[in-house]
């Protein structure tokens, strides 16, 4: 949504962005056309965003315990301590110049509290935007059933107060509206997408042979992702002599936990580095033969899209997609770049891996960002849709 904010002036909307004061690498919303207001948040220092999330060993056990304790004590989430400073900063901004609408984007859920409060204080219409489900998210994100019920009640207050509901996929928009007694016509889907200007960064920079096949993953390794079948497939191919560290390199740009790799004995194949600013992601993608994508089973397939999908599409390169046959799968299929395997089926992952390895050196497909399936995810068109929603609620 930071990038949406940066582009909204193109469709006639000036933007004030209220966010936490943190050391995020990529201030996507910053431009000479947006005002970015940062409010104090203690958790930005105590729990920095994007830290690796180990799932094995003592560190994983300790992290799970601390996270459970924090989620039990802090409601609706760990950013709740940001809320007072954010409301105070928001009131100052609203008093300093006229505004027309308040847009609150989830997550974190604390944003919904801030947006709802500022809309009530100012009398402005409220638009709520969900990049993920919250109270009905089909994953164990709440420590108790009571926490989920409280989240459902709070979400209902905000959704019923909203002039319009936006969500990242059609089914999500419909479910949120109907869950809280709103009409389907009150909800609209505006997906994530790509900035068409990034196409000039999506350049193939592979060097001449001989070189290893390079498989690249960029972004967060979500705690709900299960990469174990993938690592077991790599281990099996190595044991069969079909791959070596000299013929295959797997690069993770983001927050992969080293313990996950060591557990399967495949660290010789893997290179890791931390997050980089968004424009530098394309340097890693440019050097890749294929790109790795994974999603949480049973959720994205129905309700959403994996966000990194859209940068991947701009490259025109093959995508090894550990996904179910849902939203993300259909986009990759229509673009002609998807090589999909059930993320839980180790044998199928091995088969598709070997299929993708044979594509080494293949020229990228041509990408026309104003033709389908790309046009539906071109942020220039998505921002125009968002501007239209804001126009409607302020009439």
The confidence score (pLDDT) of residue 225 equals 84
**Same domain, yes or no: 167 and 272:** no
CA pair distance 64, 164, nearest whole angstrom:
36
Residue 352, classed as helix, strand or coil, is helix
Give residue-wise pLDDT tens across range 303-360: 988 888 999 999 999 999 999 999 999 999 999 999 999 988 999 999 999 999 999 9
Domain extent for 103: 2-193+378-394
SS3 call for 242: coil
371 within domain boundaries = no
How many domains does the chain divide into? 2
Q: Are residues 282 and 383 in the same domain?
A: no
Question: For the residues 93-117, what does the mean pLDDT come to?
Answer: 95
Same domain, 142 and 7: yes
Predicted structure pTM score: 0.85
Q: What is the pLDDT of residues 234-268, one digit of tens each?
A: 999 999 999 999 999 999 998 888 888 898 999 99
Q: Are residues 242 and 296 in the same domain?
A: yes
* Domain assignment of residue 42, yes or no: yes
Q: In what order do the strands lie in the sheet with 126-130?
A: 102-106, 126-130, 164-167, 187-189
Instruction: Report angle CA 302, 193, 114 to the nearest 5 degrees.
Output: 80
Which residues contact residue 232 at a Cβ distance below 8 angstroms, ignoring those fewer than 6 apart? 264, 346
What 3-state class would DSSP assign to 339?
strand
CA distance 104 to 110: 10
Whole-number Å distance between alpha carbons of 128 and 114? 11
Segment 193-222 shows an average pLDDT of: 91
| Residue 99, in any domain of the structure | yes
Tokens of 121: 């204080």
Is 207 in the same domain as 299? yes
Same domain, 98 and 221: no
Indicate whether 52 and 162 sit together in one domain: yes
**Distance between CA 346 and CA 331 in Å, rounded?**
23
130 beta partners: 106, 167
Structural domain contains residue 150: yes
Residue 25 pLDDT level (bands cut at 50, 70, 90): very low
Check if the beta carbon of residue 314 is closer than 8 Å to that of residue 198.
Answer: yes
């Amino acid at each position: 949504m930071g990038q949406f904010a940066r582009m909204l002036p193109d469709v006639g909307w000036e933007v004030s962005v209220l966010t936490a004061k943190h050391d995020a690498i990529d201030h996507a919303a910053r431009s000479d056309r947006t005002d970015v207001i940062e409010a104090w948040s203690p958790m930005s220092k105590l729990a920095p965003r994007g830290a690796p999330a180990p799932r094995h060993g003592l560190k994983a056990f300790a992290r799970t315990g601390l996270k459970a304790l924090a989620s039990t004590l802090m409601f609706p989430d760990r950013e709740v301590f940001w809320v007072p400073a954010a409301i105070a900063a928001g009131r100052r901004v609203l008093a300093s110049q006229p505004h027309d609408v308040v847009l609150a984007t989830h997550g974190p859920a604390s944003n919904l509290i801030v947006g709802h409060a500022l809309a009530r204080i100012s009398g402005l219409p409220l638009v709520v935007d969900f990049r993920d489900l919250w109270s009905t998210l089909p994953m164990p994100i709440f420590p108790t059933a009571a926490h989920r019920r409280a989240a459902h009640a709070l979400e209902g207050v905000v959704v019923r107060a909203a002039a319009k509901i936006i969500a990242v996929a059609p089914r999500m928009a419909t479910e949120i509206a109907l869950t809280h007694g709103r009409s389907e016509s009150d909800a609209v889907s505006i997906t994530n997408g790509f900035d068409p200007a990034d196409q000039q960064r999506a350049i193939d920079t592979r060097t001449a042979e001989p070189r290893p096949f390079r498989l690249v993953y960029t972004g967060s390794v979500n705690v709900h992702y299960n990469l174990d079948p993938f690592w077991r497939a790599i281990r099996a191919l190595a044991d069969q002599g079909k791959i070596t560290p000299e013929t295959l390199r797997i690069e993770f740009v983001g927050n992969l936990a080293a313990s996950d790799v060591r557990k399967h004995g495949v660290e010789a194949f893997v290179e890791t580095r931390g997050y980089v600013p968004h424009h530098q992601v394309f340097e890693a993608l440019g050097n890749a033969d294929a790109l790795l994508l994974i999603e949480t089973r049973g959720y994205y397939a129905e309700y959403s899209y994996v966000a990194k999908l859209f940068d991947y599409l701009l490259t025109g390169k093959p995508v090894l997609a550990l996904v179910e046959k849902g939203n993300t799968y259909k986009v990759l299929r229509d673009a002609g770049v998807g090589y999909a395997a059930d993320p839980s089926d180790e044998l199928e992952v091995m088969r598709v891996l070997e299929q993708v390895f044979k594509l080494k050196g293949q020229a990228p497909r041509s990408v026309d960002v104003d033709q389908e399936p790309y046009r539906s995810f071109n942020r220039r068109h998505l921002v125009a849709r968002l501007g239209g929603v804001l126009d409607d609620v302020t009439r």
